[in-house]
A and B are shown apart, each in its own frame.
Chain A
């Protein structure tokens, strides 16, 4: 963290962290004024919000559905299978995405072909990048994300359900009035954490899926930091961009947390 100070200096390797020239906020100002600034912000936020809208409710629905099922074997198989993709490495995952979506050999286009749809070059199309990124993420993480809700649901006492049955409550009523309230604290905590991360989209997966043709929507702050910093060796400027990102994240987290503490009873600290 000591190294963060180079965001305010013109870092020169031979002079070291401490002796490089102090330039104040000029790197930040340059970034705010740069042509890329709004594109980067828009891409980053769009991808996060899209992921959040799909990726947040699906694990909850999966957990609630699994919780209703009493059939041991089917339940177990579904759990085992849906957790599995979480363990696939990001490189293999992206390899699969590229292979499946290939316009000439990919299975997705072959299937679309059955319906008479012309092959689509998914990854060369910047308007589809977000969907590819988010949907593959949903495919990989939904099962794993449901574990925490299942664990919370297992804490609902049977007596509560039995009492509700005696009172004539339907399954849906029991889900709405017993199960969902029980997992609300867990939901809140996870929502706070993901809202805090809305400005941070990881570079690892995007760098693997990125190409010149989808760059328009696939370039986010973290990939920009990597390119400007390590590829173009503009150390100080890149650090400033990264620092700006961290600060915004922290502020967002604090705001959402404050809001959650006011509205509900749950908060991080």
Chain B
């Protein structure tokens, strides 16, 4: 079989015996067209935002700038750097992201490891308990009331603790440990006098590096990008993460701007709003770039983990 295929390949390359039929060529052309379409349609908005962030808003708003930056100015970025709240947001987001990722990794790995053990007493019950929460949660209000009762409102804990344990991630981690770390290795360690804790630390953790990377990626990006939980649980502006400030700048300001132009809001309120909207107009594209920058930077480094992570995830738990 392999021999035949080599022969085909060779002959194919020399272009004689088996040639691609017209139908095949048409199909391939379709595939290329589709991919070019996907590429352009995905890329265009991204390039537009980058170009708009360094162009004069006059050109951007009039539609004269549509691809290449026009009237290059860094006014948007300058204003952004002068904005104190953006820095506060940045600092808070970094703290929440690092803290949240660490807590979430700790829970995911320890639970995943424990559940991977066949000898764990009551394992079935634990799994059922976890799975129920996966499909069924108390909902928004009971969660909110609990957070309030634990006096976690407006603290970092309200951001980090809920959602720290993802059942899906725990199951993936468990499956990974079960399938790719041989049980014999662990047994050998135990015979050599390793305690459970040491086995986990010295044997399991180092061998789980790929899954740890994937879990850190998901937890980190999720925390960096999340806004809703922070918006409802945090009340002091000094604790707001970046995304909450972004929401004010990008969404609320623009909505108001549209509303004032539609004449829904008028009078003095409209004037102050128009003033705010003008600033928002200048910085909106810069703000999109700045908020996404850290992810853009780590993106190429993490890309090789995507497929691996998703593959492990697709293994039936």
Inside 8 A of B306's CB, which chain A residues have their CB? 83, 147
B299 to chain A, nearest CB (A): 7
A179 interface residue (CB < 8 Å to B): no
B135 touching A170, Cβ below 8 Å: no
A225 interface residue (CB < 8 Å to B): yes
B272 interface residue (CB < 8 Å to A): no
Contact of A104 among B45, B261, B300, B316 (CB under 8 A): B261
Number of B positions contacting A (CB below 8 A): 83
Docked CA distance A103–B137 (Å):
40
A73 to chain B, nearest CB (A): 12
Given A246-B136, A246-B137 in contact, is the A3-B143 Cβ separation under 8 Å?
yes
The 8 A CB mask of B44-61 against A (1 = contact, 0 = none) is 011011000000000011
Given A163-B1, A204-B227 in contact, is the A69-B136 Cβ separation under 8 Å?
no
Contact of A159 among B1, B145, B226, B250 (CB under 8 A): B1
A223 to chain B, nearest CB (A): 11
A151 touching B311, Cβ below 8 Å: yes
A78 touching B35, Cβ below 8 Å: yes
A65 touching B141, Cβ below 8 Å: no
The 8 A CB mask of A62-86 against B (1 = contact, 0 = none) is 1011101100001001101111110
The 8 A CB mask of B16-40 against A (1 = contact, 0 = none) is 0010110110011011101100110
Inside 8 A of A143's CB, which chain B residues have their CB? 38, 42
The 8 A CB mask of B124-151 against A (1 = contact, 0 = none) is 0000000011011111111111100000
A239 touching B45, Cβ below 8 Å: no
Contact of B35 among A69, A121, A172, A211 (CB under 8 A): A69
Number of A positions contacting B (CB below 8 A): 86
B315 to chain A, nearest CB (A): 11
Q: Which residue of B lies closest to A242 (CB)?
A: B139
A181 interface residue (CB < 8 Å to B): no
Q: Total A-B residue pairs with C-beta atoms closer than 8 Å?
A: 233
B73 interface residue (CB < 8 Å to A): no
B96 interface residue (CB < 8 Å to A): no
Inside 8 A of B281's CB, which chain A residues have their CB? 105
Q: Which residue of A lies closest to B21 (CB)?
A: A170
B41 interface residue (CB < 8 Å to A): yes
Given A96-B49, A159-B1 in contact, is the A65-B254 Cβ separation under 8 Å?
no
B234 interface residue (CB < 8 Å to A): no
Contact of A124 among B20, B61, B63, B258 (CB under 8 A): B258
Q: Which residue among B5, B23, B42, B291 has the maximum number of chain A CB atoms within 10 Å of its CB?
A: B42
Q: Which residue of B lies closest to A142 (CB)?
A: B38
A68 touching B27, Cβ below 8 Å: yes
Contact residues of A between 191 and 226, Cβ < 8 Å to B: 196, 203-204, 207-208, 211, 225-226
Docked CA distance A84–B295 (Å):
10
Q: Which residue of A lies closest to B313 (CB)?
A: A148
A95 interface residue (CB < 8 Å to B): yes
Inside 8 A of B224's CB, which chain A residues have their CB? 89
B292 touching A105, Cβ below 8 Å: no
Q: Which residue among A62, A83, A95, A189 has the maximum number of chain B CB atoms within 10 Å of its CB?
A: A95
A90 interface residue (CB < 8 Å to B): yes
The 8 A CB mask of A95-107 against B (1 = contact, 0 = none) is 1101110111101
Binding site for A on B (CB under 8 A): 1-2, 4-5, 8, 18, 20-21, 23-24, 27-28, 30-32, 34-35, 38-39, 41-43, 45-46, 48-49, 60-63, 66, 132-133, 135-146, 221, 224-228, 232, 243, 246-247, 249-251, 254-255, 257-259, 261-262, 281, 284-285, 287-288, 291-292, 295, 299-300, 303, 306-307, 310-311, 313-314, 316
- Report 20 cross-chain contacts, Cβ distance below 8 Å, ordered by A residue: A6-B141, A11-B145, A68-B31, A69-B32, A78-B35, A84-B42, A84-B299, A89-B226, A89-B292, A95-B251, A103-B258, A105-B61, A111-B66, A121-B258, A165-B8, A170-B21, A211-B259, A226-B140, A235-B141, A246-B136
Give 15 A-B pairs besides A62-B35, A94-B250 with Cβ atoms closer than 8 angstroms: A68-B28, A78-B38, A82-B38, A85-B42, A89-B292, A91-B227, A91-B247, A92-B250, A95-B284, A98-B255, A171-B28, A230-B141, A242-B140, A246-B137, A249-B135
Binding site for B on A (CB under 8 A): 1-4, 6, 11, 13, 17, 61-62, 64-66, 68-69, 74, 77-78, 80-85, 87-92, 94-96, 98-100, 102-105, 107, 110-111, 113, 121, 123-124, 139, 142-143, 147-148, 150-152, 158-159, 162-163, 165-166, 170-172, 175, 186, 189, 196, 203-204, 207-208, 211, 225-226, 229-230, 235, 238-239, 242-243, 246, 249-250, 253
